[in-house]
Amino acid sequence: MSLLRTFDTGMRGLLGHRLRSILTTLGILFGVAAVICTVGIGTASADSVNSRIAALGTNLLTISPGSTTSFGVRGGSGSANTLTMEDVAGLEDKQDAPDVAAVAPVVAGSATLVSTTTNWSTTVQGTTPGWLTANARSLSGGAFFTQNQVDKHAQVVVLGATTAQELGVTVGSQVSISGAPFDVVGILTTSGSTGFTNNDDLAVVPITTAQDQVTGGSPDSVQRILLSASSSATIGSAYLEADQLLLQTHHITNSASADFNITSASTLASTAASVTTTLTILLASVAAISLLVGGIGVMNIMLVSVTERTQEIGLRKALGATPRDLLRQFLIEAATLSFVGGLLGVGAGLLAGILVPRLANIAVTITPTPVIIAVAVAAGVGLIFGVYPAARAARLAPIAALRAE
Amino acid sequence: MAAEIIRLLDVSKVYGSGDATVRAVDDVSLAVKEGDFLAVMGPSGSGKSTLMHILGCLDVPTSGEYRFAGEDVSRMNERELASIRNRRIGFVFQQFHLLSSMSAWRNVELPLLYRTARDRRQMALNALAQVGLTDRVHYRPNQLSGGQQQRVAIARALVTDPTMILADEPTGNLDSKASREVLDILTGLNKSGHTIVLITHDPNVAAVAERVVEMADGRLRDRVAA
């Protein structure tokens, strides 16, 4: 039997059993579409978590006060301000800490900002010009304050995008913070939120001014020190340099009793990465189960139709079909169903990838690998269960096949 | 003298082994000439179905020799048997065995798919005309009466112009009027030169044949037509 005629016979077989063909195609279609969609959602959420972590600045190290031991009593973490401007000066030294690109001491407090039209409560951070680099932030307008302005206790403020919007102010406007007038010199570019912290709602002032007007306290002590490594590759050595330097200046010989903690955004990043990996595995298992269910559906339809097909096989054999003719016919039938089902499944999956973000505000990122795997598995199931029972029946004696009940 | 189509020589078919051995066909010898109309009669369990399978090349004998149109088919492999069935034998079954998803002419076309044939549609239509179903070529089997379905099956047997038509209880599922029609068609085909072997348990059906052989307990004996 020629290949073309076998193809024709196979197609006629499919059209002659419309319901069976449609059900099989649907089984493959849903399996494939489900995999593409769920893995797409998993990939998109992993991407989104990663980009939020990148927004934190993965080069960022934060030094915060640790527990101290005074008169033999060890206090809780952060129980004292152990960090000083002297530490900041030491970290800025390029000789001692060559891998530290920027240093910014931070004192923070809450205050109400008042513009001509409204007022707004937010976080006020006092810092130095290094803050911008250390946080990997940029300005959408104006300029950050200078070291000169820090030294002069200048009454200047840089506002987050949200804060500026809420207050209805722009660069050049005036706001009052805790009753004192400040010039708005710059507005920060939007950076989004990280967890519960809105990075766009804050006011940044020179550290000296903050100590005078907002936070109070000794002009020498700082609450936190932000460091940025020169690149993500040098973050490890920047960490060690900072650690050594602070142990030395604080006269601590045993690093276990250090009165400060250094945390990095990359430790957060690795935690988050493992969380998203878990999430992706979860979604992939859901997808695998839908593929399995689709596969079992296909298998069922194929196996149920075997009795009917066995009689057909017996008849065709009696009329002169060889086992090879029959195998080819069923291979073409199963391959067509699998191919069409797989193709429609990819189409449905891609369509869902467009519709789901619009309807449900969930991002979907479609990558080729799950598409290929889903189609391969679904088509494989369709092929195996389409061909195997038929191939077995094709080996029966024609008369036994004809009499199958 | 007409050529010999079937030559069975001491053919046996044995199922099972040891105490459970069943000799379904026991040392049967038989000759059928071209143009013959032979009926094989016998009650169920007599072995006539097994004999029919061997005659139709659907099964091979355990021992003995079977020559079909000069070819030794008792030693053929499956592929060669398929070819013999396709080229030489037209089957008519008790259950019709039409494919329900196909129209009458597609069913008749089926055996032509397994050989080289041009104008398959025209050949199928000609065969359907021979059994008087020209106006039913596009009907599905379930839209036809039992007698019409069996006539489609006869057309399917005819379409390849086989050396022999083998009919296994062709009237078994039909009422008497439809049975008459089917037997008339078979008789007409025999008159126009086709060799026909008819398997039945019904003496009235066997009566249309020129020659009747009787099968009992796997053995065969000639019976003079009444």
What DSSP letter does each residue of B170-188 carry, written as one string?
TTTTS-HHHHHHHHHHHHH
Would you say B92 and B170 are in contact if contact means Cβ atoms under 8 Å apart? yes
How would you class B126 by CB atoms within 10 Å of its CB: exposed for 0-12, middle for 13-18, buried for 19 or more? middle
Q: Which B residues in the span 120-139 are in contact with A, Cβ-Cβ below 8 Å?
A: none
CA distance B109 to chain A (A): 11
Q: How many CB atoms lie within 10 A of CB B72?
A: 11
Indicate yes or no: CB of B79 within 8 angstroms of CB of A322. yes
pLDDT given for residue B56 in this prediction: 92
What would the pLDDT profile of A310-337 be if each residue is shown by its tens digit?
Answer: 888 899 999 999 888 888 888 888 888 8
Name every residue whose Cβ is closer than 8 Å to that of residue B36 and which is 6 or more positions away in sequence.
B2, B5, B195, B196, B197, B210, B211
- B96 pLDDT band, cuts 50/70/90, is very high
From the list A5, A311, A320, the residue facing B82 with the nearest CB is: A320
Indicate yes or no: CB of B82 within 8 angstroms of CB of A9. no
Per the confidence metrics, is the pTM higher than 0.80? Answer: no
Indicate yes or no: CB of B91 within 8 angstroms of CB of A319. yes
Report the complex ipTM: 0.92
What would the pLDDT profile of B97-144 be if each residue is shown by its tens digit?
Answer: 999 889 999 999 999 999 888 899 999 999 999 999 999 999 999 999
Instruction: Output b/e per residue, A337-369; b: 16+ Cβ within 10 A.
Output: bbbbbbbbbbebbbebbeebbeeeeeebbbeee
Residue B56: its chain A contacts at CB < 8 A?
318
- Whether residue A318 lies within 8 A of chain B, CB to CB, comes out as yes
Indicate yes or no: CB of A12 within 8 angstroms of CB of B115. no
φ/ψ of B149, rounded to 5, equals -60, -40
- Whether residue B78 lies within 8 A of chain A, CB to CB, comes out as yes
Distance of alpha carbon A53 from alpha carbon A157, whole angstroms: 27
pLDDT by residue, tens only, chain A of 405 residues = 677 778 888 888 788 888 888 888 888 888 888 888 888 888 888 777 777 766 666 678 888 887 665 555 555 555 467 788 888 888 888 787 888 888 889 888 888 888 888 888 888 999 999 888 888 788 888 889 999 998 888 999 999 988 888 888 888 888 988 888 999 999 998 876 655 567 888 899 999 888 888 887 777 888 888 888 887 667 778 888 888 888 888 888 877 777 888 887 666 666 776 777 787 788 778 878 878 887 787 778 777 777 778 888 899 999 999 888 888 888 888 888 888 989 999 999 999 988 888 888 788 888 898 889 888 888 888 888 888 887 887 888 888 888 776
Decide if pLDDT at B225 tops 50: no
From the list A312, A314, A317, the residue facing B82 with the nearest CB is: A317
From the list B53, B86, B101, the residue facing A320 with the nearest CB is: B86
Hey, what are B2's tokens?
């007409």
Residue of A nearest to B49 (CA): A399
Residue of A nearest to B85 (CA): A320
Instruction: Give the number of C-alpha atoms closer than 13 A to the C-alpha of residue B102, restricted to the C-beta side.
Output: 20
Measured CA distances, B142 to A10, A153, A306, B110, B136 (Å): 22, 99, 21, 18, 12
Nearest Cα to A223, choosing from A340, A150, A123, A313? A123
Name every residue whose Cβ is closer than 8 Å to that of residue A367 and which is 6 or more positions away in sequence.
A39, A40, A43
From the list A13, A319, A402, the residue facing B85 with the nearest CB is: A319
Indicate yes or no: CB of B106 within 8 angstroms of CB of A320. no
What would the pLDDT profile of A222-241 be if each residue is shown by its tens digit?
Answer: 888 888 888 766 777 888 88
Indicate yes or no: CB of B110 within 8 angstroms of CB of A319. yes
